[in-house]
């Protein structure tokens, strides 16, 4: 059965890295990295446009179409609102696919350090850093983590994995173990 694998977690925790590796090692898997789609939308750098919200329905449609074809989709995306997570889960179910929710975490200090240390390699990375700085920097990042932690009790099927910066291979193996174990 095809599955939509939602890799959730705070910024710079390793979601996109794990998603890219998973897609590379699983031919036919769609790496639905919404952050990489943002520059396709006019005015995407203007926070007033809230381009993430504009793109989520398109991302759900892409996921449904790919899943309906019998192929996996991996979605590396921070989501801390239950309705947004449920919308992706419903998209998977409507395509006859399974929804797997994996939450990548580290402690708050490590999350902030990882974001601070992440290189700004793309236009999106630079834009994201600007937005985080404008929203309060470290305090904003800690708030994002707190928001995610607050919804976890209401997501009983979500699997929490510790993301180990010094050993991304171990984190990837833990991801595969969780996906293969169900």
pLDDT in tens, 109-152: 999 999 999 998 888 899 999 999 999 999 999 999 999 999 99
Spatial distance between the Cα atoms of 45 and 84, rounded to a whole number of angstroms: 22
Tell me the whole-structure pTM to 2 decimals: 0.96
Over residues 39-77, the pLDDT tens digits come to: 999 999 998 888 999 999 999 999 999 999 999 999 999
Q: Does the pLDDT at position 104 exceed 60?
A: yes
The order of strands in the sheet holding 98-105 is 30-31, 73-76, 3-8, 98-105, 159-162
Provide CATH code, domain 3-180: 3.40.50.300
**% of the chain exceeding 70 in pLDDT:** 99
Domain boundaries, the chain: 3-180
Listing DSSP states for the chain in one string gives --EEEEEE-STTSSHHHHHHHHHHHSTT-EE--HHHHGGGSTTTT-GGG-HHHHHHHHHHHHHHHHHHTT--EEEE-----HHHHHHHHHHHHHTT-EEEEEEEE--HHHHHHHHHHS---SHHHHHHHHHHHHHTTHHHHHHHHHHHHHHGGG-TTPEEEE--TT-HHHHHHHHHHHHHT-
């Amino acid at each position: 059965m095809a599955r939509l694998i939602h890799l959730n977690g705070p910024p710079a925790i390793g979601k996109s890295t794990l998603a890219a590796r998973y897609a590379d090692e699983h031919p036919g898997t769609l790496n639905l990295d919404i952050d990489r789609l943002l520059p396709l939308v006019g005015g995407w750098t203007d926070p007033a446009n809230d381009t993430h919200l504009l793109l989520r329905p398109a991302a759900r449609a892409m996921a449904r179409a790919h899943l309906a074809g019998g192929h996996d989709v991996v979605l590396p995306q921070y989501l801390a609102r239950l309705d947004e997570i449920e919308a992706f889960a419903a998209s998977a179910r409507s395509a006859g696919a399974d929804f797997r929710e994996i939450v990548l975490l580290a402690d708050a200090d490590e999350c902030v350090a990882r974001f601070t240390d992440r290189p700004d390699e793309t236009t999106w990375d630079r834009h994201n850093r600007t937005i985080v700085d404008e929203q309060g920097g470290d305090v904003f990042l800690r708030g994002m983590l707190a928001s995610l932690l607050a919804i976890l009790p209401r997501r009983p099927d979500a699997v929490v994995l510790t993301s180990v910066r010094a050993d991304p291979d171990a984190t990837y193996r833990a991801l595969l173990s969780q996906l293969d174990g169900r």
